[in-house]
Structure formats: structure tokens, C-alpha cells
């Protein structure tokens, strides 16, 4: 109620101010005409007539053009346009009435021009002066505002400083921009101080608290340099959203956020054929195994946007399943999803799921993927990644599913660990099962994803929060990385491209050195590598390789219609051999005969180089 009363009073104050300016504008227009000397009596009478008519006319145009919908503190170009329209239309109506009434007798022609110009200046000037006062003088007196330096004096920088000036969080003290023509210019009263190379000096000289990067299209190299400079100066830096986020209308320029590791990787945006994916998913019953995992949960999020008739979320981890199901409840079409607890190793449960739900498309993202843990527990890894996968693949064939998409990994190529070998064996099984039934079995293979559970990124983040050290296994170790949404989008795209039997390899870009990633994450935390946070090398873990491969040298790799998806033609394996090895593996799992398990796995995946300790 108090807020409404304040707004009402403010609008009436503004209205009274504007009406006073009508009289002032009439007087000043005549005073200017007669050089501020004595106005002849005949013209004084004309001035009063102009005032009598313009007062009610301008009153009407002020309200008609909405001059009191805006707030003076946020006066902008649209407000100025409304003022100009209201005054010009009001003046023209006034002149027309005066012409009909007195033929403009006693009103000098120059005042007809001066009157609206002075009135526009009075109304607009008061609003802009008030805004300047509120944004500058009040802000300068604020003890809570953070002194901010804005990098980038382009369109994004102009929009950002305008937004920043409307709150009391930041006090913008300057811009830095590499365009030399802009040096010394003012943008909304904030000076362009120099180029980006002077960042460190300006931060120290002006006692900057935070650096705001307003360069949504900046390259990863530029961002890395800026982040490092801020870290060396122990200054927090934030950024505006990327161009992709802005164009997708998911964020606005003023939505400042911390710089993420993804921003520094420099991966180009991926163009997807969403119509094709929608045609593939819409109206079908789709099941995602491992729905509570990093890839599985993102699959569920993206699948829901393509209007499936039913989405089955299957996972054996209760809390993970609860989390993703709870998240999907916020969606308007949540009612089409169903969360089911179950383990892909449980034949009875899987048989019920397929019979009850009748999925038409299955995305198998269920797997044990943590290399050291699977290396230490090979029987459990094989039971899930090999026996569990083969079991739900058999059920898919038995129940005439249309598509079965197996989510694989680059660790399946020339594996040196049990996890990679099990994923390669799962690929082999799905490829061989294809063509023996109505179901199309498609495999998608890709590398690491940023931020997935158990990955290096959350580990580094935790170690940095604890003050270090950050542990890296080897100074030369590299890995392929992509974001989780990016990987899932390519999985969906690849699913629409396959007829069955294919292994689609996702383009992961260039491999990234883990040591570089560790240093960048330390910088993102506003700290300096080796000074504030130590980096230690712990040595390669069992089954770990220095570098990963996306395809075997014997695999014939070729392009597809999508530039980020390649097709691998892997070697064929005799179906009877596959079945015999599976039978051996089942028995060895039951008896926990690790040596037999590894030997059989090695025979089916001859490129597998197991740790010798597993064969002892």
C-alpha cells in the first residue's frame, strides 16, 4: 500500500513539474524572442493566450502518450521519444486552435519554434539530470557497491553498464577495449581507459574489486588470458552470457555469471537437426537406462522437449533417480514420464519392465565407468557393462523395439583397463545382435564429459576449495572433453542417422592436457597456480593411459552428413564365439574367477592390454 501511495505521489509530482514547464516554456520563448528585454503589451496578450490553450492541450497529450508510465531514475531513449511526441502533437494542436481563434495574432513566428524546443529540453533535461544524480552521486556515496572494471566497450558493454548503473551492486569505474578509437570516450558517463593489455595496471591503480567481461563472442584464448591476469591480480572476474545463450533467449546481457571451464575450452557451437530428432522421438515410448547418471539425466531432459508419448527413467540408484524425476516434475509434460527402480543385471525385473512399458526406443546409459574402481572390482564391472548390457539388448530384440542406442566410450578403443574392454565387448555384442532381429542396434562413442559424476573436474574443484594440492596423474596426460548437453545432443542426432549396426564416433575436437585444465580451474577460482594452489603429480593409476583414442587403427572411419559425427566400421566377430565367451564370463562371475574373466575378455577383445596383476 505504501509503495502504491509513493508511486501515486511521484506521478503527480512529475505531472505538476511538467505543467509548470508549460508556463516556463511560453515565457522563455517570448523572452528569447525579445532578447530578455521588455515584451510589448500586444505580445504579452498573445503569450497569455498561448498559455491558456497550451496548458489543457499539453495536459491531455502528456497522459495520452504515457509520460508517467516511466520512472525518472530509468529515463531512456523511449521516454525521450514519448516526450517529443507529446509536446510536438500538443504544440500543433495548440497552434491550430490559436489560428482558428485569433489567427495567431500577437504570437511571433519564432516563438512557435522556440516553445516546443524549450519544453522538450525542460522535460527531458530534468529527467536525465535526475537519473544522472541518482546513478552517479548516490552510487559514489554507497559503501557497498563494488568497484568494477568492464572489459569490452561494444554493444554488450554499453548494455551491461546501463544495466549495472540501475542497481547498487557495482560501481563501474571504467572500460578497457582494444579498439583504439574508443579510448577516452564516455559510455553512459563511464570512461574508456585503455586496451586489454593494461588490465593488471588499471586493476591496481583504481582499486578494482571485480572485472566484468562484456565480450560474448571472445575467443577461448582471449578469455584464458584475461582469467589468468585476474587470477594473478587476485581479482574475481565475471562474464556476460555467450552469444549462443543470448541468441537462444536463455540469458540476457545483464545476467552476469562466473566464467566456466567450458568457456575456456573454445568448442564451437553445434548445429543440430532438431526436426529430425523430433520426428524420431515424438509419439514414441522411450526408455533411458542409467537415467540418474550424468549422461542419462541429460538425455531425459532433452528427450522431454521432443514430445515422447512416454519416457521411462530406469536406474538402480534410488537417490539419483529421485533427483532427475524431481527435476522433470517442473516440466509441463511431466505426466508422460515414469521413474522405475531396477538393475539391468536383474533379468526378472528387466523382463517385467519391457513387458509392462513396451519401449520402442532404448538409450542404454547404464554402466560402471570409473576406471580405477572397475579395475579393482572387475567382476562387478563385467556383470553390469557386459552381462547387463547384453541382457537388456536381448530383451529389446525379443520385444521388437525399434531402436537400441548403446552409449559407449573412447576407452573402448585399444583398452588398457577392464572398463574400456567391457565397453568394447558391449559394442561387439550390439553390433552382432543387429541383423538377427527387427531391432536396429546403434552405438555412439565419445570421450570424457565435463562435470560428470566422478570426473576430474569436480575432483579438481573440491581440491581447490580445500586449498590444494590439485593432483594430476602425469604432466603429459591428455583427454578429450565435451560438455554433457553437447554429447547428449550428438547422441540423439546420431540415433536418427543409423539403420543398425553402426558405431558413430562423436568429434571431440582436440585433446586437452589435464595439467592445463588444472591450471585454468585454479585461475577461475581467482588463485594463482603453484603459488596459491600447488599441483602434484601422482603417477598413472592402474589401467590408465596417457592419451585416449576415438577409433582403432583398423577401423575404417568416414564422415557422415553431420560434420561432428563420424562413422566407424569396426571388425566383425563370430556370433558363436561371442556366445561362448559370454557363457564363460557368466560362470566366472559367479565363482569370482578373475583370471578366467580377464582371459576370456582378452580373447574377445584382443586389442585389450590387461594389467598383469589381474592375471596372477
Q: Give the residue numbers annotated as catalytic, written as ranges.
A: 411
Of 64, 65, 58, 63, the C-alpha closest to 91 is 58
Residue with C-alpha cell 576406471?
Answer: 371
**Phi and psi based region of residue 556 (left: phi greater than 0; alpha: psi -120 to 50; beta: remaining):** beta
Of 255, 256, 264, the C-alpha closest to 239 is 256
Residue with C-alpha cell 525521450?
Answer: 80
The residues pairing with 470 across neighbouring beta strands, listed in sequence order, are 535
Backbone φ and ψ for 611, nearest 5 degrees, come out as -65, 130
Sort 530 into a burial class: Cβ within 10 Å, 0-12 / 13-18 / 19+. Answer: exposed
Q: Is the peptide bond before 614 cis (omega within 30 degrees of 0)?
A: no
Which residues lie below 8 Å from residue 284, measured CB to CB, with a gap of 6+? 308, 309, 310, 360, 361, 402
State the DSSP string of 361-387.
Answer: EEEE------HHHHHHSHHHHHIIIII
Of 531, 260, 325, 502, the C-alpha closest to 403 is 502
Rounded to whole angstroms, the Cα distance separating 525 from 231 reads 7
Which residues lie below 8 Å from residue 329, measured CB to CB, with a gap of 6+? none
Between the CA of residue 312 and those of 321, 460, 491, 604, what are the distances in Å? 11, 34, 18, 33
Q: Which three cell numbers stand for residue 112?
A: 512557435
Rounded to whole angstroms, the Cα distance separating 224 from 4 reads 48
User: Collapsing DSSP states into helix, strand and coil, what is residue 240?
Assistant: coil
Rounded to whole angstroms, the Cα distance separating 356 from 342 reads 13
Rounded to whole angstroms, the Cα distance separating 439 from 287 reads 14
Amino acid at each position: 500500500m505504501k509503495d502504491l501511495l509513493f508511486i501515486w505521489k511521484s506521478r503527480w509530482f512529475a505531472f505538476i513539474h511538467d505543467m509548470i514547464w508549460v508556463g516556463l516554456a511560453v515565457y522563455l520563448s517570448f523572452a528569447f524572442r525579445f532578447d530578455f528585454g521588455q515584451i510589448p503589451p500586444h505580445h504579452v496578450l498573445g503569450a497569455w493566450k498561448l498559455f491558456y490553450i497550451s496548458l489543457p492541450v499539453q495536459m491531455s497529450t502528456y497522459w495520452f502518450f504515457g509520460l508517467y508510465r516511466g520512472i525518472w531514475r530509468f529515463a531512456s531513449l523511449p521516454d525521450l521519444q514519448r516526450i517529443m511526441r507529446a509536446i510536438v502533437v500538443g504544440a500543433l494542436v495548440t497552434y491550430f486552435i490559436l489560428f482558428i481563434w485569433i489567427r495567431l495574432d500577437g504570437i511571433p513566428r519564432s516563438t512557435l519554434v522556440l516553445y516546443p524546443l524549450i519544453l522538450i529540453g525542460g522535460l527531458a533535461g530534468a529527467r536525465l539530470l535526475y537519473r544522472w544524480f541518482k546513478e552517479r552521486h548516490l552510487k559514489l556515496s554507497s559503501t557497498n557497491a563494488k568497484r568494477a572494471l568492464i572489459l569490452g566497450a561494444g554493444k554488450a558493454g554499453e548494455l551491461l553498464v546501463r544495466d549495472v548503473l540501475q542497481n547498487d551492486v557495482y560501481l563501474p569505474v571504467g572500460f578497457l577495449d582494444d579498439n583504439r578509437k574508443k579510448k577516452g570516450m564516455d559510455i553512459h558517463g563511464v570512461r574508456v581507459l585503455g586496451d586489454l593489455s593494461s588490465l593488471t595496471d588499471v586493476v591496481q591503480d583504481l582499486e578494482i574489486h571485480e572485472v566484468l567481461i562484456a565480450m560474448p563472442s571472445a575467443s577461448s584464448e582471449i578469455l584464458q588470458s584475461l582469467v589468468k591476469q585476474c587470477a594473478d591480480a587476485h581479482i574475481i572476474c565475471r562474464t556476460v552470457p555467450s552469444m549462443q545463450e543470448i541468441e537462444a533467449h536463455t540469458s540476457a546481457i545483464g545476467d552476469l555469471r562466473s566464467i566456466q571451464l567450458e568457456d575456456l575450452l573454445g568448442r564451437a557451437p553445434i548445429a543440430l537437426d532438431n526436426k529430425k530428432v523430433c520426428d524420431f522421438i515424438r509419439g514414441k515410448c522411450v526408455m533411458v537406462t542409467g537415467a540418474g547418471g550424468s549422461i542419462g539425466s541429460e538425455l531425459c531432459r532433452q528427450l522431454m522437449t521432443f514430445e515422447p508419448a512416454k519416457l521411462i527413467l530406469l536406474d538402480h540408484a534410488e537417490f539419483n533417480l529421485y533427483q532427475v524425476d524431481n527435476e522433470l516434475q517442473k516440466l509441463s509434460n511431466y505426466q508422460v514420464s515414469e521413474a522405475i527402480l531396477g538393475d539391468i543385471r536383474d533379468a526378472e525385473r528387466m523382463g517385467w519392465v519391457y513387458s509392462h512399458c513396451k519401449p520402442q526406443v532404448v538409450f542404454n546409459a547404464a554402466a560402471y565407468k570409473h576406471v580405477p574402481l572397475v579395475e579393482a572390482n572387475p567382476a562387478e564391472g563385467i556383470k553390469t557393462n557386459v552381462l547387463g548390457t547384453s541382457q537388456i539388448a536381448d530383451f529389446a530384440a525379443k520385444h521388437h523395439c525399434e531402436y537400441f542406442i548403446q552409449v559407449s566410450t573412447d576407452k573402448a578403443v585399444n583398452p588398457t583397463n577392464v572398463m574400456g574392454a567391457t565397453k568394447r565387448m558391449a559394442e561387439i555384442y550390439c553390433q552382432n545382435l543387429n541383423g538377427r532381429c527387427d531391432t536396429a542396434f546403434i552405438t555412439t562413442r565419445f570421450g570424457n564429459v565435463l562435470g560428470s559424476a566422478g570426473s576430474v573436474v569436480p575432483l579438481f574443484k573440491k581440491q581447490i576449495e580445500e586449498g590444494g594440492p590439485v593432483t594430476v596423474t602425469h604432466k603429459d596426460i591428455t583427454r578429450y572433453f565435451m560438455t554433457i548437453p553437447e554429447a547428449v545432443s550428438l547422441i540423439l542426432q546420431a540415433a536418427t542417422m543409423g539403420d543398425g549396426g553402426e558405431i558413430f564416433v562423436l568429434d571431440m575436437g582436440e585433446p586437452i592436457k589435464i595439467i592445463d585444465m588444472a591450471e585454468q580451474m585454479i585461475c577461475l577460482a581467482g588463485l594463482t597456480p603453484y603459488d596459491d594452489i600447488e599441483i602434484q603429480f601422482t603417477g598413472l593409476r592402474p589401467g590408465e593411459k596417457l592419451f585416449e583414442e576415438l577409433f582403432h587403427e583398423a577401423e575404417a572411419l568416414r564422415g557422415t552428413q553431420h560434420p561432428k559425427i563420424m562413422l566407424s566400421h569396426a571388425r566383425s566377430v563370430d556370433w558363436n564365439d561371442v556366445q561362448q565367451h559370454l557363457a564363460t564370463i557368466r560362470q566366472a562371475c559367479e565363482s569370482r574367477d578373475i583370471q578366467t574373466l580377464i582371459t576370456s575378455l582378452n580373447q574377445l577383445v584382443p586389442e585389450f592390454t590387461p594389467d598383469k596383476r589381474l592375471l596372477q
